Structure 1
Amino acid sequence: MSKLSINRTTRLCMSLSARPGNFGTRFHNHLYEALGLDYVYKAFGTRDLDGAIGGIRALGIRGCAVSMPFKEVVIPMLDSLDPSAQAIGSVNTIVNSDGHLHAYNTDYIAIVRLVAETPIDREIRFLLTGSGGMAKAVASALRDNSFTNGTIVARNQATGTALADACGYGWAPELGDAQAGMLINVTPVGMEGGPEAEDLAFPKAALEAAKVVVDVVALPSETPTIRAARALGKRIVTGAEIQTVQAVEQFILYTGQTPTPEQIAAAAAFAQGRG
């Protein structure tokens, strides 16, 4: 549907974040129009999470994406959790069915799917940097896909050891000169506009020794780490891929419609400013 066709029957989906971005808004609205759906999507920031969740319920807002710092604190305000959210105690998607708010974690679902589709030896040793909400999704997805030999690298000992213990992995406060077959960056290193935008998430020697490199940073789609890994001929999974797969899962949950691969690729290109 075009924006001019919004009417009283149009269903609203939204996102809640401390720092609203444009990817979800552009991605979902592009697909609504491509599939002729009477939906509209809008990003919001809030300092009143209780009020925002009450508004979703009261106004019949169909779906809501949840970003940091709300992924965990929102849980007591919801009615039920999908196993994808229950497994890690973190949500990023709320679906409203007649006032019942059911939550999912499509980050977890996306990682599970991408790992299943990427030929990776389950015996491979991995290093995962980070211990926040997305790190929980990635580590839990690896655990549930039979990856047993991993280390969580996080300066915050409390969250790092908690995540490592929950998933059965080791913990280290620093990378040092450690090397592994799979490297996974779940920190802001390489993020556009950040203080470490031009930095590699791992030392060059570690990248050279690795077989698989995963970087969850989605903006830019080609981070310094991904560029370096690509130049070295490594198997890679980008944050842009993860972002797109999780957004598609949200779209399906909200609308019940499954876009074609071509429609997904066009929406992702548009959302990333390439279309």
Structure 2
Amino acid sequence: MPRPISRETRLCMSLSGRPGNFGTRFHNYLYEALDLDFIYKAFTTTDLPAAIGGIRALGIRGSAVSMPFKEACIPLLDELDASASAIDSVNTIVADNGWLKGYNTDYSAVASLLASHAVPKDIRFALRGSGGMAKAVASALRDSGFRHGSIIARNAETGRKLAEGCGYEWLPELGDAMPQMLVNVTPLGMEGGPEANSLAFTPAQVEVAEWVFDVVALPVETPLIRLARELGKPVITGAEVIVLQAVEQFVLYTGIRPEAELIEKAAAFARGL
């Protein structure tokens, strides 16, 4: 039986342009399993300053932050953890007595996955995207020792800035190049989006690539990941990223790190398995 909600119940939340159910189901599963007096709810907003003010004024414990708010929320916070200040991108807000501190658990999740999958650091990669999540992924690649890469972004301003900040080249389009690792950090292939059936790279590029990494978490098998698997390519999925970063958020909110078996159960529940 879950705890009854009371005035002592602590609220955690998420802010996203397109709210999903993964975080809500993942966190609430763990709260119930660990008998914690917390509840989690996803939101979107057209008034970000008011939403952040609500976190501060109402004593909300913490908030996940997704596109398109990861950079826009920064001026509204009181402090940034090194994980967020290093890349000017926030995906987690923690409130302590009205003091709001921003973190980036995407960065640590990506760095951990690159290491656990033993991706060779001397390969050349192409990363499509230049938003807040792209900053986290590109910075994790840089700090993990990947020296040869391109940032692919039609937005020249954000693309150049990200590439220069991480020591990579910027290209508006990948063209006929055939990198050894393809990294999608755009909404292409996202469930429920206008380009849900789109590939971030050409089939020929996927066929030649040695690694494929798609940060899109839903569906678990994006068109890009599905094609890569069919071609026998090793992959890193957004489903892996979302679980690792959500665990770190849970720890920041509650101070408790669940055991690995419980995390696996929470992730399966969150995916509806």
2 CA distance for matches of 1:56 and 1:189? 31
Match of 2:250 in 1: 251
2 CA distance for matches of 1:66 and 1:233? 34
Q: Which runs of 5+ in 1 are unaligned?
A: none
Q: Secondary structure at the match of 2:200?
A: coil
Match of 2:143 in 1: 144
1 CA distance for matches of 2:15 and 2:192? 21
Q: Secondary structure at the match of 1:108?
A: helix
Match of 1:34 in 2: 33
Aligned pairs for 1:1-275 (under 5 A) are: 2=2, 5-274=4-273
Q: Which stretch of structure 1 is more off in the superposition, 197-206 or 9-18? A: 197-206
Q: Secondary structure at the match of 1:213?
A: strand
1 CA distance for matches of 2:88 and 2:32? 34
Deviation at 1:159, TM superposition (A): 1.0
Deviation at 1:137, TM superposition (A): 0.8
- Code of the residue aligned with 1:272 in structure 2: it is R
Divergent runs of 4+, >4 A: none
Deviation at 1:47, TM superposition (A): 2.2
- Code of the residue aligned with 2:55 in structure 1: it is I
Deviation at 1:81, TM superposition (A): 0.5
Using the size of structure 2 for normalisation, the TM-score is 0.96
- In structure 2, the CA distance between the partners of 1:196 and 1:73, relative to structure 1 (3 Å rule), is closer
Which string of whole-angstrom CA distances, capped at 9 and with x for unpartnered residues, describes residues 61-82 of structure 1?
1111112222112111111111
Q: Secondary structure at the match of 2:183?
A: strand
- In structure 2, the CA distance between the partners of 1:49 and 1:198, relative to structure 1 (3 Å rule), is closer
Deviation at 1:235, TM superposition (A): 1.3
Q: Secondary structure at the match of 1:208?
A: helix
Q: Secondary structure at the match of 2:239?
A: helix
1 CA distance for matches of 2:97 and 2:227? 48
1 CA distance for matches of 2:52 and 2:204? 47
Deviation at 1:198, TM superposition (A): 2.1
Using the size of structure 1 for normalisation, the TM-score is 0.95
1 CA distance for matches of 2:71 and 2:59? 22
Q: Which stretch of structure 1 is more off in the superposition, 43-52 or 20-29? A: 43-52
Which string of whole-angstrom CA distances, capped at 9 and with x for unpartnered residues, describes residues 209-254 of structure 1?
2111100111110011111111222111001111111111100110
Which string of whole-angstrom CA distances, capped at 9 and with x for unpartnered residues, describes residues 75-111 of structure 1?
1111111111001111010111122211101111111
- Code of the residue aligned with 1:109 in structure 2: it is S
Q: Secondary structure at the match of 2:160?
A: helix
Deviation at 1:20, TM superposition (A): 2.0
Q: Which stretch of structure 1 is more off in the superposition, 186-195 or 147-156? A: 186-195
- Code of the residue aligned with 1:34 in structure 2: it is A
Deviation at 1:189, TM superposition (A): 1.6
- Code of the residue aligned with 1:93 in structure 2: it is T
Q: Secondary structure at the match of 1:245?
A: helix
2 CA distance for matches of 1:200 and 1:72? 26
2 CA distance for matches of 1:68 and 1:207? 26
Alignment RMSD: 1.3
2 CA distance for matches of 1:241 and 1:261? 13
Q: Secondary structure at the match of 1:50?
A: helix
Deviation at 1:146, TM superposition (A): 1.2
- Code of the residue aligned with 1:165 in structure 2: it is E
Which string of whole-angstrom CA distances, capped at 9 and with x for unpartnered residues, describes residues 11-50 of structure 1?
1111112332211111100110111111001112222222
Tell me the percent identity. 66
Q: Secondary structure at the match of 2:187?
A: coil
